[in-house]
Protein backbone atom coordinates (compact mmCIF):
# COMPACT_ATOMS: atom_id res chain seq x y z
CA UNK A 1 0.00 0.00 0.00
CA UNK A 2 1.15 3.57 -0.49
CA UNK A 3 2.49 5.32 2.60
CA UNK A 4 1.99 8.85 3.90
CA UNK A 5 5.24 10.71 4.57
CA UNK A 6 5.27 13.86 6.69
CA UNK A 7 8.33 16.07 6.37
CA UNK A 8 9.06 17.68 9.75
CA UNK A 9 5.42 18.32 10.69
CA UNK A 10 4.68 21.43 12.79
CA UNK A 11 1.20 20.87 14.21
CA UNK A 12 0.52 17.89 16.49
CA UNK A 13 -3.24 18.02 15.90
CA UNK A 14 -2.75 17.56 12.16
CA UNK A 15 -0.34 14.69 12.68
CA UNK A 16 -2.70 12.99 15.12
CA UNK A 17 -5.58 13.34 12.67
CA UNK A 18 -3.41 11.91 9.87
CA UNK A 19 -2.39 8.97 12.06
CA UNK A 20 -6.05 8.27 12.83
CA UNK A 21 -6.92 8.45 9.11
CA UNK A 22 -4.03 6.15 8.22
CA UNK A 23 -5.02 3.61 10.87
CA UNK A 24 -8.59 3.54 9.54
CA UNK A 25 -7.41 3.19 5.93
CA UNK A 26 -4.75 0.59 6.68
CA UNK A 27 -1.83 2.66 5.39
CA UNK A 28 1.47 3.47 7.05
CA UNK A 29 2.85 6.85 8.07
CA UNK A 30 6.48 7.92 8.00
CA UNK A 31 7.58 11.00 9.94
CA UNK A 32 10.82 12.67 8.94
CA UNK A 33 12.21 14.40 12.00
CA UNK A 34 12.70 16.77 13.59
CA UNK A 35 9.04 17.51 14.16
CA UNK A 36 7.92 20.86 15.56
CA UNK A 37 6.58 19.11 18.67
CA UNK A 38 7.30 16.10 20.85
CA UNK A 39 5.82 12.99 19.28
CA UNK A 40 4.31 12.05 22.64
CA UNK A 41 2.56 15.44 22.82
CA UNK A 42 -0.90 15.37 24.46
CA UNK A 43 -2.47 17.10 21.45
CA UNK A 44 -1.14 14.40 19.14
CA UNK A 45 -2.63 11.72 21.38
CA UNK A 46 -5.93 13.60 21.69
CA UNK A 47 -6.31 14.01 17.91
CA UNK A 48 -5.31 10.41 17.21
CA UNK A 49 -7.46 9.09 20.06
CA UNK A 50 -7.25 5.33 20.55
CA UNK A 51 -6.34 4.87 16.88
CA UNK A 52 -2.67 5.59 17.54
CA UNK A 53 -2.22 2.02 18.73
CA UNK A 54 -3.53 0.82 15.34
CA UNK A 55 -1.33 3.15 13.29
CA UNK A 56 1.72 1.85 11.47
CA UNK A 57 4.23 4.61 12.25
CA UNK A 58 7.86 4.74 11.18
CA UNK A 59 10.14 7.56 12.33
CA UNK A 60 13.23 8.71 10.46
CA UNK A 61 15.83 10.76 12.33
CA UNK A 62 16.54 12.94 9.28
CA UNK A 63 15.78 13.29 5.59
CA UNK A 64 19.08 11.57 4.84
CA UNK A 65 18.05 8.57 6.96
CA UNK A 66 14.70 8.49 5.16
CA UNK A 67 16.42 8.61 1.76
CA UNK A 68 18.70 5.71 2.71
CA UNK A 69 15.67 3.64 3.77
CA UNK A 70 13.79 4.63 0.59
CA UNK A 71 16.72 3.67 -1.68
CA UNK A 72 17.13 0.31 0.06
CA UNK A 73 13.44 -0.41 -0.56
CA UNK A 74 13.35 1.08 -4.09
CA UNK A 75 10.24 3.17 -3.43
CA UNK A 76 8.89 6.02 -5.56
CA UNK A 77 8.73 9.44 -3.88
CA UNK A 78 5.67 11.48 -4.88
CA UNK A 79 5.79 15.05 -3.56
CA UNK A 80 2.57 16.99 -3.07
CA UNK A 81 3.42 20.65 -3.62
CA UNK A 82 1.87 23.94 -4.69
CA UNK A 83 4.79 24.27 -7.14
CA UNK A 84 3.74 21.29 -9.28
CA UNK A 85 1.98 21.41 -12.65
CA UNK A 86 0.29 17.97 -12.61
CA UNK A 87 -2.93 17.56 -10.65
CA UNK A 88 -3.11 14.59 -8.30
CA UNK A 89 -6.16 13.20 -10.14
CA UNK A 90 -4.17 13.15 -13.41
CA UNK A 91 -1.48 10.86 -12.00
CA UNK A 92 -1.21 7.06 -11.95
CA UNK A 93 -0.44 5.94 -8.41
CA UNK A 94 1.32 2.67 -7.59
CA UNK A 95 1.17 0.52 -4.45
CA UNK A 96 4.81 1.29 -3.61
CA UNK A 97 4.40 5.09 -3.65
CA UNK A 98 5.50 7.29 -0.79
CA UNK A 99 3.22 10.35 -0.71
CA UNK A 100 5.32 13.17 0.75
CA UNK A 101 3.73 16.22 2.36
CA UNK A 102 5.80 19.17 3.59
CA UNK A 103 5.77 21.19 6.78
CA UNK A 104 2.66 23.24 7.40
CA UNK A 105 4.81 26.36 7.80
CA UNK A 106 7.36 25.95 5.00
CA UNK A 107 6.77 22.94 2.75
CA UNK A 108 10.00 21.15 1.81
CA UNK A 109 13.40 22.53 0.78
CA UNK A 110 14.46 22.63 -2.88
CA UNK A 111 16.73 19.58 -2.57
CA UNK A 112 13.65 17.49 -1.71
CA UNK A 113 11.86 18.83 -4.79
CA UNK A 114 14.91 17.93 -6.86
CA UNK A 115 15.05 14.28 -5.82
CA UNK A 116 11.33 13.53 -5.89
CA UNK A 117 10.20 11.14 -8.62
CA UNK A 118 6.96 13.03 -9.23
CA UNK A 119 5.42 16.31 -8.08
CA UNK A 120 1.67 16.73 -7.77
CA UNK A 121 -0.67 19.63 -7.13
CA UNK A 122 -4.07 19.86 -5.49
CA UNK A 123 -5.79 22.40 -7.76
CA UNK A 124 -7.52 25.24 -5.90
CA UNK A 125 -9.40 28.39 -6.83
CA UNK A 126 -7.43 31.53 -7.67
CA UNK A 127 -6.16 33.29 -4.56
CA UNK A 128 -6.30 30.26 -2.24
CA UNK A 129 -2.89 29.52 -0.73
CA UNK A 130 -3.25 26.06 0.79
CA UNK A 131 -5.49 23.49 2.41
CA UNK A 132 -5.15 22.02 5.86
CA UNK A 133 -2.50 19.28 5.85
CA UNK A 134 -4.83 16.54 7.10
CA UNK A 135 -7.37 17.40 4.38
CA UNK A 136 -4.67 17.35 1.72
CA UNK A 137 -3.41 13.96 2.89
CA UNK A 138 -6.91 12.47 2.88
CA UNK A 139 -7.71 13.80 -0.61
CA UNK A 140 -4.53 12.49 -2.23
CA UNK A 141 -4.40 9.18 -0.39
CA UNK A 142 -8.08 8.66 -1.13
CA UNK A 143 -7.38 9.01 -4.85
CA UNK A 144 -4.35 6.72 -4.64
CA UNK A 145 -6.39 4.04 -2.86
CA UNK A 146 -9.25 4.43 -5.33
CA UNK A 147 -6.87 3.87 -8.25
CA UNK A 148 -5.08 0.93 -6.66
CA UNK A 149 -8.34 -0.69 -5.59
The third-level CATH classification (topology) of the domain covering 3-148 is Alpha/beta knot (3.40.1280)
Give the chain's length.
149
- Radius of gyration (C-alpha) of the chain in whole angstroms: 14
- For residue 100, the model assigns a pLDDT of 98
Look at residue 105 and tell me whether its pLDDT is greater than 70: yes
- CA dist 70 → 4, 13, 34, 43, 143 (Å): 13, 27, 18, 29, 22
The pTM (predicted TM-score) of the whole model is: 0.93
- For residue 45, the model assigns a pLDDT of 66
- For residue 54, the model assigns a pLDDT of 79
Which segment of 47-61, 78-92, 98-112 scores lowest on mean pLDDT? 47-61
pLDDT tens by residue, 25-60: 999 999 999 998 877 766 666 665 667 777 888 999
Contact 123, 86 (CB under 8 A): no
Domain-wise residue ranges, the chain:
3-148
Look at residue 89 and tell me whether its pLDDT is greater than 90: yes
Amino acid sequence: MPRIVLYQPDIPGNTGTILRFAACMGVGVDIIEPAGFRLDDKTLKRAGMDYLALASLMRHASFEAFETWRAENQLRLVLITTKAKTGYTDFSFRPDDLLLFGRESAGVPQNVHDISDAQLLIPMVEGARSLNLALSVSMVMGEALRQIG
